[in-house]
Amino acid sequence: MKTEIIRRARIAGQAFLDLANWREVLPRAAAGESVTEIQLRDGVVLGAPPENALWPHFSDIWYHRSYTKHCAIPRGSLVVDIGANVGVFSVFAARVARIVYALEPSSENFARLTANTSGIKNILPLNLACSQRDGQASLDISSNPVSYSLLSDGGPDRQEVVNVVSLATLFERLQIERCDFLKLDCEGCEFEIILNADPQLVRRIDRIVMEYHDHLCKGFSHLDLLHSLQKFGFRTISYNPNGMQGMIAATRP
């Protein structure tokens, strides 16, 4: 109980420093109510409907450091954010990165991503999914907007055709010679991206942090992701397990 009180006090203190509208956000978050707008003190405004669970994701990324617990984003770095949703991680990364390429396939999430990042010059939103091959694919939009996936099937009435690129094509189009930080939250496509990656391409990436989704991949699990990343020369750690989901961080020795 005491630890939980200290944790909440720490987050409240950080939120006071970061948020211009902390008086509205913190009471709603404490009461378990939806937060649909977060106003940062630098003028950036993050907006999303209740189903996007804006505060839990913001708090998880900014204060619980879900993507940076085991490796920081270097100052002046090039960051690729695959599965950017409404831009919470991209805005977090842009505070120190030189450039953030933010990929989001869903048209509704992408509209919010572009609106939320419109005043941030070092974020480039891209209306794309990333997977094994280039082309088009059906995005399942039957679940909540943070769980849209190319690998699930909610029925023909809840599909959106989206453009897809491979990691190799993405790097070629954007002329990425070195990626300092690759973030993946792509609802199962992390398996297609990592398990089929060209080793020469992966050598150009210094850090990879991802959310894994074992339930969305038949025949493989996060253990296979860990094995592949280790073969590519990364030191790896799996953390924050939550049933069939969790996090993996991979860094160069």
Q: Are residues 36 and 104 in the same domain?
A: no
What is the total count of domains within the chain?
2
Q: Which domain holds residue 6?
A: 1-64
Q: Looking at the structure, tell me whether residues 41 and 72 fall in a common domain.
A: no
Q: Give yes or no: residues 40 and 128 share one domain.
A: no
**Which pLDDT belongs to residue 4?**
77
Q: What is the pTM of this model?
A: 0.96
Same structural domain, 76 and 95: yes
Among 22, 38, 64, the domain boundary falls at 64
State the average pLDDT for the chain: 96
Q: pLDDT, tens digit, for every residue of 194-245? A: 999 999 999 999 999 999 999 999 899 999 999 999 999 999 999 999 999 9
CA distances from 96 to 64, 90, 91, 195, 201 (A): 18, 11, 10, 30, 24
pLDDT of 1 > 70? The answer is no
Task: Judge if 130 and 186 occupy the same domain.
Answer: yes
- 40, 64, 88: which is the final residue of a domain? 64
Residues 234 and 201 reside in one and the same domain: yes
Q: Over the stretch 49-103, which tens digit does the pLDDT of each residue have?
A: 999 999 999 999 999 999 999 999 999 999 999 999 999 999 999 999 999 999 9
Q: Are residues 133 and 203 in the same domain?
A: yes
In this structure, are 50 and 109 located in the same domain? no
> 98 with 58, same domain?
no
Both 38 and 132 in one domain: the answer is no
